[in-house]
Amino acid sequence: MAAHTVSPLAPAAFPQLPEIGGVTLHTATLGIRYKGRPDVLLAELATGTSVAAVFTTSTTASAAVRWGREALRGGTGRAFLVNAGNSIAFTGKAGEQFVADEVTATCKLLSCEKNEVFTASTGVIGEPATANRITDALPAMMEDKASWMDAARAIMTTDTFAKGATATADIGGTPVKLAGIAKGSGMIEPNMATMLAFVFTDAKIPHATLQAMLADCNGRSFNAITVDSDTSTSDTLLCAATGAAGNAEFDDANGADLAGFKTALETVLVDLAHQIVRDGEGASKFITINVTSALNDAEAKTAAKAIANSPLVKTAIAGEDANWGRIVMAVGKCGVMADPNKLTVSIGGIPLAHKGERVADFDEAPVTAHIKGQYIDIDVDLGFGNGSATVWTCDLTHGYISINADYRS
């Protein structure tokens, strides 16, 4: 594979992530597909860690996802085991055996229950493999601790930079910390994409409460981004709360006691989701699409996703062209309640089209200046309801074609 240059939208550096009590990271460099970098991650979790998760809605989900859906019923976890380079998706019985072997080996090492081990695999679909390279490496992996940077690198595929985010909160007077890592970067429309994200906190939070908060925040973070409208077979978001912070336990996911934590959780998820968009294959622009005054929030999100996924809108922005007619087209095609005579379209905060026609004194110059930047804002006001949604995406460039037309060659 050709080396990919780092996305022009990459952050300046990998963030400083704090140690999270109850979480120990281990990595290995097995060369499954990628050479000279870690490609297996074992996140070891303290006994009693609450686990919450959101998985792909794909009906052709990978063996790891199918196992994770099962294991989540227990609500606790002792390990997340992740490999990059082969997604083990669509590999039939061999895939199921791969996951089972990983789980058995990890249980043995950690003396835990099977449903306390969650696995994730990312890479090529449909390449059968056995787990023994990974299971054989586990004992040696346990001997060394890895950094967040190593952990974030171990889960990358075509990502051009490692992704991490952190936040802090206060629960009942006790400070708690959160740290998360994620990978993109193609096949991304996380309905609940090969999007993988792992978030860790030392907060003590019961499973059901953590699950409710994770699902809610996921709707406004990973489920609000799209790179190419393609939903992976392996999308997995796992969250572990170890309880090492020793905070008082609260169980109302929407209560005042956990409000600060929930905000911190959403901050970490949105930060990681944005980093995935910023590393979207071939991305040169980060696009924020706000739809307001829709019939309801769901319709607003449908319209925002239609704009975000329109190849014509995405290529116009790649070409730095304020072609608002394509935005109107995308709204029109998606089936939400819309009336051309009520629609307002703004780019960079400047209304270009209002109530069914071009703004009379519309001057393209300031809009063109905005569109030459790296961060593009598109606002669409549908003009009749209270629904709103924000979706983030990137532009569609020659880079996307080069990366994807050459992936296996």
Binders in 214-233 for its own copies, by CB under 8 A: 228-233
How many angstroms separate the Cα of 313 from the Cα of each of 60, 80, 176, 367, 406? 29, 38, 42, 15, 24
User: Minimal CA–CA distance to 84: which of 144, 19, 133, 46?
Assistant: 133
The Cα 19–Cα 160 span in angstroms is: 24
Q: Provide, rounded to whole angstroms, the least separation between the CB of residue 284 and its own copies.
A: 10
Q: Which of 320, 377, 385, 390 binds its own copies (CB under 8 A)?
A: 320
Q: Provide, rounded to whole angstroms, the least separation between the CB of residue 257 and its own copies.
A: 38
Kindly state the tokens that stand for 408. 């296996």
- Any idea what DSSP says for residue 19? P
Per DSSP, helices labelled H in 160-258 are 207-219
Q: Is 333 annotated as a binding residue?
A: no
Q: Which stretch binds its own copies (CB under 8 A): 32-40, 54-62, 77-85, 195-203?
A: 54-62
Residues in 121-180 that interact with its own copies by CB under 8 A: 124-128
Between 93 and 132, how does the x/- string for binding to its own copies read (CB under 8 A)? xxx----------------------------xxxxx----
Q: Which of 39, 159, 189, 279 binds its own copies (CB under 8 A)?
A: 189
Q: Provide, rounded to whole angstroms, the least separation between the CB of residue 212 and its own copies.
A: 24
Closest CB to its own copies among residues 135, 234: 234
Sheet bearing 375-381, strands edge to edge:
225-226, 387-394, 286-294, 375-381, 344-347, 350-354, 357-358
**Residue 173, phi-psi category: left (phi > 0), alpha (psi -120 to 50), beta (remainder):** left
Residue 357 touching its own copies (CB under 8 A): yes
- How remote is the C-alpha of 316 from its chain's centroid? 25
Interface with its own copies (CB under 8 A), residue total 76
Between 58 and 97, how does the x/- string for binding to its own copies read (CB under 8 A)? xxxx-------------------------x-xxxxxxx--
Tell me how many helices (H) and strands (E) the chain has.
11, 15
- Any idea what DSSP says for residue 152? H
Q: Provide, rounded to whole angstroms, the least separation between the CB of residue 248 and its own copies.
A: 42
Q: Is 50 annotated as a binding residue?
A: no
Residue 402 touching its own copies (CB under 8 A): yes
Active site (annotated) includes residue 194: yes
Q: Provide, rounded to whole angstroms, the least separation between the CB of residue 153 and its own copies.
A: 24
Residue 407 touching its own copies (CB under 8 A): yes
**Residue 75, phi-psi category: left (phi > 0), alpha (psi -120 to 50), beta (remainder):** left
User: Minimal CA–CA distance to 201: which of 75, 15, 18, 40?
Assistant: 18
Catalytic residue of the set 160, 194, 292, 393: 194
Residue 358 touching its own copies (CB under 8 A): yes
Within 10 angstroms of residue 354's Cβ, the number of other Cβ atoms is 17
Between 246 and 285, how does the x/- string for binding to its own copies read (CB under 8 A)? ----------------------------------------
Kindly state the tokens that stand for 75. 């609500």
Sequence-ordered strand ranges (E) for 264-348: 286-294, 344-347
Q: Residue ranges for the binding site for substrate?
A: 157, 183, 194, 281, 404, 409
| Residues identified as active-site | 194
